């Protein structure tokens, strides 16, 4: 059986033809997979009313996996020229004998799950004249500069869009492809604050130029900026952490990394062996659903060519399962959740695409009104250095507002929040109903988490 | 990579719509990587990326395009796209005559990684795994990886510059997980140098792996990190990242010009303890951030940024130095041909003081000793920074005592520089780093001697 993609235009067909050609060269006893991608992007940075830089470019590449006797060889190249593609296949074969046999090695095979029809491509990205894109960046910069006299400058204001297509074909019967677009505007604004400056950013994301909002990005940046002026280092305390939907999405992203089947199988996740156990608050139900068109992470196929599907992770705080690609699923004796993710230069890893929390009740303002002694975080820093997904140790810098008696109080900076990821999940005391889809594809809601250590003075 | 007459014609085409400056940056990068994980050599992979980025500058505007097609037709097409941004200018023909300048690379390469048999490359992985696991059952997982890359670049511009560089880097790292009653802890160690496979003449693979594994085991008995402000002793080597974050980024002239740096307008002023002399040097043979020429074709240089506490200069790239009519400092770097260059650090380090390291510890009544710092980040506008403690201990009564769990350290750059109380004489370079800025990663080195900061905020949980 062969999985086939819906008709998606000549470009995808061309990529599929390349991938099919490589996969067809599998020799007896070999499995061969080709992952081919191509993208174009336009990016404009504005500064002081002028174009600072305008980038228009395209790139393409191929990654080839060859598996024989449980050994995997991999090679990639940043070009789709015939000779380079042939070289990548030859090089992958050449690398193969040096890998050690792995009983779970194998490519994806068609599993009968139908792909969801998702409209994730907009012709507008290619059709819009570059002048209109330039105007977006210049207008955004002006809007932020004019928004308030306290805005002293804009570090960067930019418009970016990209159109990409990919195809994956295997000698095991997979041949799919697809294409998608994305567009966003982002801005970071500066204001004076005593001897130093404060900086804050705003962003708006959609699938094309008409789906992004300059107002949203500008308001976001200016509101956050003005809120920061006069921040001081707070007293150390134990507080209720109030995570707005944007930062809940950040937390979910870290947690989903710990639920990846490979980390679990290799004993690198504190959640290993805990399916069926209460690992989170009973209020927490988390799913990854790339078939939900509301998410910018929505995709009909994963990067091994399987149709994406809804994957329950936590139900009422009870661990339901892990995210798998083909390899980790074989190792765990289960089916892939179609969570393979990669670029052409890497082998498939595992990643969530469209995480969401099942909504509870209330929104940021109503939940905040019930907090006696808290911190409303506006930015968490040092996540890559202070959060260890293996031990679960969690220590991040925080900026935001102190909350007292249900009211927003003074702005804070130069402080840290510490706990463990395991503790944070169990201690969630309220889940909001205010689902907001984030640029990375995650749908966040407001969360309240009591008992978090705030370190300051 | 590209013939001289072709480069001249491409630059001429790029300038046709009135550009004041045009540049071709071509890159041919091959890399190979071997990974052992979970007791098995999982993969040996290799790849190649080749292409050119073309930029055209008119006034304060830069047009940029890149292509993987290095034929004259492909380059001319990219030149047209890049010059589109300069469309408002007048036409006309400006010819370009290139003069080739060769800058010797400070680093030498004895054995190209590609010339090492693949079997030998995976053999070191196996040795690392066995050595780490030999420490006992507490070590439950080991990952070892070895990577080599060769990056050949060529830069030609309308000022007539034509130059090239050949950068070979080799990286080895081991990460171990230890498990015990208190959960899991991690230890890691990496070595990366701008050199070839001879890196392994300098490394005892087994001892290296044991060190990573011992770090994980030690952390199993770690106490929760304290919370709040304490004196912090930073160990020699990896502590250099403190200066990269606390200060280096704020000295990048692009950020200074946009009012996004606390160090704007401070040249000539005392910005740090008089003990501090901070250097950024792209010419240190073998270090991770070394090169012959930067990604705009300017030779790497040694730049003293802070001398005895006084700010002496910023870091510059081509555009910034052109605007201020001065020489670039050789800090224009980019991740690949697909990226525009910007001001970046190379190897950034603090010079030696004259105290013995043991006296720095003994002179600390109560505080934290950070043996190994992890990655960090900084808000250059406010100077506030954060970085992770990968291996840290309590200091009690002038002695290093119990290990503490991982956590972040935070502080403010200018305040931290003023708060440096003592600097030892045991300078060491730290591990190889990847510095991220506006979505681009470049290899950087750092280093420092042991030193003490009067106080930083420790992001722990116990008071």
The three-state DSSP-derived secondary structure of B177-227 is EEEECCEEEEEEEEEEECCCCCHHHHCCHHHHHHHHHHHHHHHHCCECCEE
Confidence of residue B246 (pLDDT cuts 50, 70, 90): confident
* Alpha-carbon distances of B48 from A37, A427, B8, B54, rounded to whole Å: 15, 48, 26, 20
List, for residues B13-68, the tens digit of each pLDDT value.
999 888 899 999 999 999 999 999 999 999 889 999 999 999 999 988 999 999 98
The answer to whether the Cβ–Cβ distance between A413 and B384 falls below 8 Å is yes
Average pLDDT over residues B357-361: 97
Q: Pick from B32, B246, B339, B381 the residue to mutate for testing the A interface (most A CBs within 10 Å).
A: B381
> Per-residue b/e over B78-107, b at no fewer than 16 CB within 10 Å?
bbbbbbebbeebeeeeeebebeeeebebbb
| Residue B356: both structure tokens together | 């013995």
CB contact, 8 Å: B434 with chain A? no
Q: Which residues of chain A have a CB within 8 Å of the CB of B85?
A: 51, 53-54
Is A313's Cβ below 8 Å from some Cβ in B?
Answer: no
Q: Do A58 and B48 touch (CB under 8 A)?
A: no
> Mean pLDDT across the stretch A359-385?
94
Which residues in chain B have Cβ-Cβ distances shorter than 8 Å to A151? none
**pLDDT band at residue A389, thresholds of 50, 70 and 90?**
confident
Instruction: Give the pLDDT mean for B207-223.
Output: 95
Encode pLDDT of A201-241 as tens digits. Answer: 999 999 999 999 999 999 999 999 999 999 999 999 999 99
Residues in chain A: 457
Interface mutation target, options A156, A234, A393, A419, chain B, most CBs of B under 10 Å: A393
Q: Is B258 on the interface with A (CB under 8 A)?
A: yes
The predicted model gives B218-222 an average pLDDT of 93
pLDDT of residue B18: 86
* Whether residue B310 has pLDDT greater than 70: yes
ipTM value, please give it.
0.88
Residue A5: band (very low, low, confident or very high) from pLDDT cuts 50, 70, 90: very low
pLDDT at position B446 is 94
Picking from A48, A61, A397, the nearest residue to B408 by CB comes out as A397
Angle at A108 between CA A103 and CA A109, to 5 degrees: 110
Beta strand pairing call for B227-234 and B366-378: parallel
pLDDT at residue A8, as a whole number: 42
> Best interface-test mutation with B: which of A48, A385, A454 has the largest number of B CBs within 10 A?
A385
Pairing of strands B302-307, B310-311: antiparallel
- What is chain B's mean pLDDT, rounded? 93
Indicate the pLDDT class of residue B92, thresholds 50, 70 and 90. Answer: low
Average pLDDT of span A169-176: 98
At residue A6, does pLDDT exceed 60? no
Contact status, residue B47 vs residue B8, Cβ threshold 8 Å: no
Q: What's the distance, CA B202 to chain centroid?
A: 21
Which residues of chain A have a CB within 8 Å of the CB of B51?
59, 78-79
Q: 3-class secondary structure for A133-191?
A: HHHHHHHHHHHHHHHCCCEEEEEEEEEEEEEEEEEEEECCCEEEEEEEEEEEEEEEEEE
What does the CA dihedral A128, A134, A136, A139 come to, rounded to 10 degrees?
A: -150
pLDDT at B87: 66
Stretch 85-104 of chain B: residues touching chain A, C-beta under 8 Å: 85
Average pLDDT of the residues in A79-98? 94
Residue A148 has pLDDT above 70, yes or no: yes
C-alpha B131: how far from chain center: 29
Helix (H) or strand (E) holding B8: helix B4-14
- Contact criterion met (CB < 8 Å) for A397 and B37: no
**Residue from the list B40, B59, B406 with its beta carbon closest to the beta carbon of A102:** B40
Q: pLDDT tens, A87-96?
A: 999 999 999 9
* pLDDT band with cut points at 50, 70 and 90 for residue A3: very low
* Distance, CA of A125 to chain centre: 21
- For B347, which DSSP code? E
Inform me whether the pLDDT recorded for A200 exceeds 50.
yes
Q: Are strands B420-423 and B451-459 parallel, antiparallel or unpaired?
A: antiparallel
pLDDT at B96 over 90: no
For position B59, what pLDDT does the model report? 87
For chain A, give the mean pLDDT.
Answer: 93
Q: What are phi and psi of B272, to 5 degrees?
A: -145, 170
pLDDT reading at A10 higher than 90: no
How much is the pLDDT for A2? 33
B153: closest CA of chain A, how far (Å): 16
| The predicted structure's pLDDT at residue A151 | 96
From chain B, the residues in CB contact with A236 under 8 A are 227-228, 463
Determine which of B228, B260, B410, B416 to mutate to test the interface with A (most A C-beta atoms within 10 Å).
B410
Alpha-carbon gap: A348 to the closest alpha carbon of chain B (Å): 12
- Which pLDDT does position A384 carry in this prediction? 80
Is the CB of A236 inside 8 Å of chain B's CB atoms? yes
Count of A-B CB contacts under 8 Å = 256
**Which pair of structure tokens corresponds to residue A286?**
């988390």
Q: What is the pLDDT of residues A315-342, one digit of tens each?
A: 999 999 999 999 999 999 999 999 999 9
| Chain A CB within 8 Å of residue B338 CB | yes
Question: What does the pLDDT look like over A261-303, one tens digit per residue?
Answer: 999 999 899 999 999 999 999 999 999 999 999 999 999 999 9
Q: What is the pLDDT of residue B374?
A: 84
CB-CB neighbours of B402 under 10 Å: 11
Q: Categorize the per-residue pLDDT at B88 as very low, low, confident or very high, splitting at 50, 70 and 90.
A: low
At A17-34, the pLDDT tens digits run: 999 999 999 999 999 999
Per-residue pLDDT reduced to its tens digit, B132-157? 999 999 999 999 999 999 999 999 99
What are the tens digits of pLDDT across the range B363-414? 999 999 999 998 888 888 888 999 889 999 999 999 999 999 888 899 999 9
DSSP reduced 3-state for B128:
helix
Diameter over CA atoms, chain A:
72
Nearest C-alpha in A relative to B219: A391
The mean-pLDDT minimum among A16-20, B110-114, B194-198, B451-455 falls in: B110-114
Angle at A380 between CA B176 and CA A405, to 5 degrees: 130
Cα–Cα distance measured from residue A446 to residue A359, given in angstroms and rounded to the nearest whole number: 9
Touching B: A residues 367-396, CB under 8 Å: 381-382, 384-386, 388, 390-393, 395-396
Q: How confident is the model at residue A58 (pLDDT cuts 50, 70, 90)?
A: confident
**CA atoms of A256 and A249, how far apart (whole Å):** 10
Q: Which tens digits make up the pLDDT trace of B69-78?
A: 899 999 999 9
Average pLDDT of span B107-112: 91
Q: Give me the pLDDT at residue B431, please.
A: 87
- CB atoms under 10 Å from CB of B262, counted, come to 25
């Amino acid at each position: 059986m062969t999985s086939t993609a819906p008709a998606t235009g000549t470009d995808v067909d061309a990529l599929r033809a390349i991938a099919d050609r490589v996969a067809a060269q599998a020799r007896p006893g070999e499995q061969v997979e080709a992952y081919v991608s191509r993208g174009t992007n336009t990016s404009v940075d504005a500064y002081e009313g002028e174009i600072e830089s305008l980038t228009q470019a395209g790139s393409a590449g191929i990654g080839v996996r060859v598996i024989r006797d449980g050994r995997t060889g991999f090679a990639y190249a940043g070009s789709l020229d015939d000779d380079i593609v042939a070289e990548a296949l030859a090089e992958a074969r050449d690398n193969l004998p040096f890998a050690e046999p792995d009983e779970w090695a194998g490519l994806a095979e068609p599993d009968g799950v139908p792909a969801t029809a998702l409209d994730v491509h907009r012709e507008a990205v290619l059709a819009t004249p570059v002048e209109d894109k330039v105007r977006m960046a210049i207008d955004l910069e002006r809007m932020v500069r004019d928004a308030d006299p306290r805005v002293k400058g804009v570090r960067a204001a930019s418009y970016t869009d990209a159109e990409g297509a990919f195809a994956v074909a295997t000698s095991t019967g997979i041949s799919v492809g697809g294409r998608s677009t994305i567009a966003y505007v982002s801005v970071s604004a500066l204001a004076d604050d005593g001897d130093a400056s404060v900086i804050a950013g705003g962003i708006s994301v959609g699938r094309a130029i008409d789906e992004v909002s300059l107002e949203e990005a500008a308001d976001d940046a200016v509101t956050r900026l003005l809120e920061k002026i006069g921040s001081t280092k707070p007293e150390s305390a134990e507080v209720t952490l109030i995570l707005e939907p944007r930062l809940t999405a950040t937390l979910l992203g870290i947690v989903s990394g710990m639920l990846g089947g490979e980390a679990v199988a290799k004993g690198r996740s504190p959640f290993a062996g805990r399916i069926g156990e209460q690992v989170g608050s009973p209020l927490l139900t988390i799913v990854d659903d790339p078939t939900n068109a509301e998410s910018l992470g929505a995709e009909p196929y994963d990067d091994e060519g399987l149709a994406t599907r809804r994957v329950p992770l936590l139900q009422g705080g009870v661990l339901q399962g892990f995210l798998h690609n083909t390899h980790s699923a074989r190792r765990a004796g289960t089916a892939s959740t179609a969570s393979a993710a990669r670029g052409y230069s890497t082998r498939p890893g595992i990643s969530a695409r469209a995480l969401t929390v099942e909504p509870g009740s209330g929104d940021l303002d109503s939940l905040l009104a019930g907090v006696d002694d808290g911190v409303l975080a506006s930015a968490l820093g040092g996540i890559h250095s202070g959060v260890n997904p293996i031990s679960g140790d969690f220590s991040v810098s925080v900026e935001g507002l102190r909350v007292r008696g249900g009211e927003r109080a003074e702005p804070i900076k130069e402080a840290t929040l510490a706990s463990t990821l395991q503790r944070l999940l169990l201690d969630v005391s309220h889940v909001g109903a205010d689902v907001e889809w984030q640029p990375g594809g995650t749908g966040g809601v407001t969360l309240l988490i009591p008992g978090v250590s705030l370190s300051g003075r | 990579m590209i013939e001289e007459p072709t480069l001249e014609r491409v630059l001429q085409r790029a300038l046709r719509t009135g550009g004041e400056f045009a540049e071709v940056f071509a890159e041919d990068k091959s890399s190979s990587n071997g990974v052992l994980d979970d007791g098995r050599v999982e993969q040996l992979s290799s790849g190649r990326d080749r292409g050119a980025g073309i930029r055209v500058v008119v006034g304060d505007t830069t047009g940029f395009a890149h292509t993987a097609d290095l034929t004259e037709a492909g380059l001319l097409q990219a030149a047209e796209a890049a010059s589109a941004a300069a469309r408002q200018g007048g036409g006309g023909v400006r010819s370009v005559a290139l003069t080739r300048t060769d800058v010797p690379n400070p680093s030498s390469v004895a054995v190209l990684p590609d010339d090492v048999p693949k079997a030998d490359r995976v053999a070191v992985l196996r040795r690392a795994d066995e050595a780490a696991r030999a420490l006992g059952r507490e070590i439950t997982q080991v990952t070892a990886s070895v990577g080599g890359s060769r990056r050949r670049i060529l830069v030609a511009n309308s000022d007539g510059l034509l130059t090239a560089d050949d950068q070979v880097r080799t990286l080895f790292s081991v990460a171990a997980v230890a498990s015990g009653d208190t959960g899991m802890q991690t230890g890691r160690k990496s070595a990366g140098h701008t050199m070839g496979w001879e890196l392994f003449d300098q490394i005892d693979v087994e001892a290296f792996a044991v060190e990573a594994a011992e770090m994980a085991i030690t952390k199993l008995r770690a106490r929760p990190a304290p919370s709040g402000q304490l004196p912090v002793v930073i160990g020699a080597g990896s502590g250099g990242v403190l200066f990269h974050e606390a200060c280096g980024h704020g000295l990048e002239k692009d950020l200074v010009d946009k009012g996004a740096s606390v160090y704007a307008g401070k040249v000539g002023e005392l910005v740090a303890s008089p003990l501090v002399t901070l250097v950024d040097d792209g010419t240190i043979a073998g270090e991770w951030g070394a090169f012959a020429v930067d990604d705009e074709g300017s030779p790497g240089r040694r730049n003293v940024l802070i001398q005895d506490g006084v700010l002496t200069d910023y870091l510059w790239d081509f555009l910034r130095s052109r605007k201020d009519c001065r020489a670039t400092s050789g800090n224009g770097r980019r991740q690949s041909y697909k990226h525009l260059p910007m001001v970046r650090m190379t190897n950034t380090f603090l010079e030696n003081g004259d105290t013995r390291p043991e006296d720095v510890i003994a002179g600390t009544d109560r505080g934290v000793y950070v043996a190994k710092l992890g990655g960090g980040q900084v808000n250059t506008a406010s100077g506030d920074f954060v970085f992770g403690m990968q291996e840290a201990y309590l200091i009690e009564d002038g002695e290093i005592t119990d290990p503490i769990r991982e956590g972040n350290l935070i502080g403010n750059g200018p305040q931290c520089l003023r708060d440096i109380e003592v600097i030892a004489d045991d300078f060491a370079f730290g591990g190889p780093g990847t510095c991220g800025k506006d979505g681009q990663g470049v290899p950087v080195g750092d280093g420092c001697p042991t030193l003490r900061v009067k106080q930083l905020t420790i992001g722990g949980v116990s008071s």
